[in-house]
Structure formats: structure tokens, C-alpha cells
Structure 1
């Protein structure tokens, strides 16, 4: 894996970037329940619930859901009305049907276990590239790039790239995000990256660049600082 990552006329020292981000993440870690386990089933359920939903909304629903359905075998036998009630606070009713279908397939095709292979994960109802990568990263500590609106924003600002709604489907962004992943500590790196996007590198025009642990490599922070000095 290359130590120097170049794009758009900017070069990032990848090992230095990773060390700084992970060190910052240790002091700004958000201890959600789904982060306190490496159980693939619990992580899979969390990632499906988190799809298009804020973590603060998911937290209470997730806790009660896993108390009621601690195993895939229990979930697969749950009546649909019961699932509707358990997941109603999250909205997105289509998700309920997908969870029900997925639990049955996990029992029938994988013996009640969440598969580790990415192709197998992607074959499950409701599992997209991001969810499959997140499960592999957080359950098995595999170096999977997590490409979503938040990580694209961090990468785009880091390399001074134009960010569009379609950027997460852009191969250039996907490759940069993949190249930045820490190969030795992908789980803690990825949690730190998500926390950075939520707490520092936010969507608004003026993020907290002055408190960013990786601002020394960032094209956006450099431009923002120069504009502030004028």
C-alpha cells in the first residue's frame, strides 16, 4: 500500500494521516452499543437501521430490538406485526420487509450465521456495498473502504475535489477512500473517520478546521485558513 497518496495536485502522507486520525478518535469515540461488539449479526442489524437514519434515532430502537431478537433464529420466526411495532420509530417501512426476508435467508442459506464473504453479504436483501463493507470491517476487522456521503465529504475536502451528490459513485473518490484505510487497524480507523465527519468535518460550509487532527494535509482547511487570514 502506497505511503503517499496523490490526487488533484495534493499529496497526503497516508501513514501520518492514519496515525493522527486514530489518535484523535481515541478521545472522541462515540460509544454506541453497536460499536461495543464484533458480533456480525448485531453489526448487520445496526447498519441496516442506520441506513438513512440518524444514530440518535437508532440507539434506543437497536437496544430493544436486540433484547427481543438476540439471535437470527429468533428474528426469522418473528411475526410481521411484531416487527412492524419494533421498527416503527425508524420509519422507512420497506426496511422491515427486507429485515424479515434477510433473516429467513440467513437461516436457510447460511445456517443462521452472517457470512463473511462480501459476495454472500451482497446477495442478502437490503445489503448494499456500504453495509457489506461495514459488517466486514467492524465484525472481522477487514480493511474495507466505507464510501458514503460523509466519508466522501472528508476525502473530497482533503484532496480539494469538487463534491457532488453523485461523488460516492465516482471511482476516483472510491479509490481514494480505499487507499486511505489503515491496513492494520481498519476498525478503529473507520470509526474515527466517521466520528470526524460527524463532529468536525461537517456538511456546513465552515467546519471546525481549527480543531481538525488532519487539517495539515487538507486542501479545504488550507483554503479556509487563508481566507480567514485575509
Structure 2
């Protein structure tokens, strides 16, 4: 077993009272949620910055870079005008390809919204470098607007729970997105979404998931006949 289940997490192993997924994930986050600086004093800008940095990069690597940039450059305008220095900090994380789209995105926000970040999904999707996931993250974590996160964590968790076959196209299928959307909490969208990410990372891991001790094991269809969701 990877890692050690701490006292707070012990109540989420086998024997925990059955409840719907949404309530379960909200409670998991409230009691066991991971603590990162971008989860404190959330603003649309800080969420945008953190999501760009977190692309295919571990949170522990991102944390010191985020702290430095968020403190030194508190908004889109200052970050854009200090981008040469910003570039060197981001390059320390690898994936330099994100720099081009990030700078273009900052410039687009300055030109079109005076450096403010819009809450409308379609307007966010028009910003260079912002796709479905970052748009949803900004809306949920930056504005508190219910939206649906469909990333590798969500695909892995829901495909296992419902016994569905996961393919590269799963996250883009309308039927799968509708399935995931049904579980989104309108009143607690932030806690629910963080709970989904954290539970998937801690228990429903990509390799060697902790199925034997998972509180959802009797509801989860993982291990049954896998069916393709159309």
C-alpha cells in the first residue's frame, strides 16, 4: 500500500456509512482535503495562474513557483509586463511550450477585458491556452460557479465507479459529460470538485488503487464486467 492512511482518512475506508457520491466527496474534501496556496484566498487570476503551472506538473514542484509569482505579480497586467522574469521561473518546471500560450492568453485578457478574467465559459474558451478544464476550474474555484471538471482524475474515478471502459475519447463524449455533470453540487461546487480531485489522487490512484479499503468499494463496479459507455 502506497503511503499511510492518516486518522482523518480512516473514516473513509471500508465500513463508512453509504451516501451518494456528491455528499461523500464534499465531506472527504472538508475533512481530508489537501492544502495548497492556490486553494486559499482564491481569485480568478490565482486559479488561472495555478492551472497553467499545474499542467502535467506535480503540485509540490508548482508550489514554490506559484508562491513567488502570486506574491510578486498579483494580477494579469503585472504578470504580463514582467513576463521575461516570469518566463525563467516557469521554465524551471519544464514544459516550456506553455509559455507561448500563457503570454498570448495574458495579452488577450489585457486587450479584451482590461486584464480582468471573464466568468462566461465561451469567453474563457476564446482565451489562448484555455481549454475545457482550465475554463471549468476558473469558473468553479475562481468564481464559485457550478461547472464540471472532466480530467484524467474524473474519467478514472467515474469509469471505475460505473464499470465503464475508458478510452482517449471518453472525456469528450456528450453522454459521459452528462453522467459526470449529474453529480456536480450546485451549492458546494468548490468542495465537491476539490474532493473529486483529492479522493482520486489518494484512493482511486492510476496504478494500484486502494480498492480493498475504499469506502465506495461496495457501490463501485470496478472489477465487474467492463462495458463501453456510448
Task: Report the TM-score when normalising by structure 2.
Answer: 0.84
Q: Deviations over 1:89-108 (max 9, x none)?
A: 12111211222222222122
Is the counterpart of residue 103 in structure 1 residue 106 in structure 2? yes
State which drifts further: 142-151 or 19-28: 19-28
| Paired residues for 1:25-36 under 5 Å | 25-36=29-40
Partner in structure 1 of residue 48 of structure 2:
44
Q: Which has the higher helix share?
A: 1
Deviation at 1:195, TM superposition (A): 0.2
Please tell me whether the aligned partners of residues 83 and 103 of structure 2 are also in contact (alpha carbons under 8 angstroms).
Answer: no
Give 2:78's aligned residue.
74
SS of residue in 1 equivalent to 2:129: coil
> Aligned-pair RMSD on alpha carbons?
1.8
Q: For the residues of structure 1 that align with 2:21 and 2:102, how far apart are their CA atoms? A: 37
How far apart are 1:79 and its partner, in Å? 4.3
1:119 to 113, 116, 122: 122
Q: Deviations over 1:127-173 (max 9, x none)?
A: 00010001101112222110011110000011000112332222232
Secondary structure at the aligned position of 1:126 is classed as: coil
The answer to whether the Cα contact below 8 Å between 1:154 and 1:197 also exists between their aligned partners in 2 is yes
- Point out where structure 2 has 5 or more consecutive residues left out of the alignment: 1-18, 225-230
1:199 Cα deviation after fit: 0.3
| Structure 1: tracts of 5 or more residues without a match | 1-14, 224-230
Match of 1:16 in 2: 20
Distance 1:46 1:214 in 2: 30
Q: Which residue of 2 aligns with 1:161?
A: 164
| Equivalent residue runs for 1:1-230 within 5 Å | 16-80=20-84, 82-204=85-207, 206-220=208-222, 223=224
Measured in 2, the distance between the counterparts of 1:79 and 1:149 equals 30
- Alpha carbons of 1:124 and 1:60: their partners in 2 closer, same or farther (altered >3 Å)? same
**Distance in 2 between the 1:95 and 1:161 partners?**
32
Change (3 A) 1:213 1:21: farther
Q: How far 1:176 moved relative to its partner?
A: 1.3
Q: TM-score, normalised by structure 1?
A: 0.84
Moved more, 65-74 or 152-161: 65-74
Counterpart-to-counterpart distance in 2, 1:138 and 1:177: 18
Compared CA separation, residues 188 and 21, structure 1 to 2 (3 A): same
The 2-side partners of 1:33 and 1:219 are apart by: 35
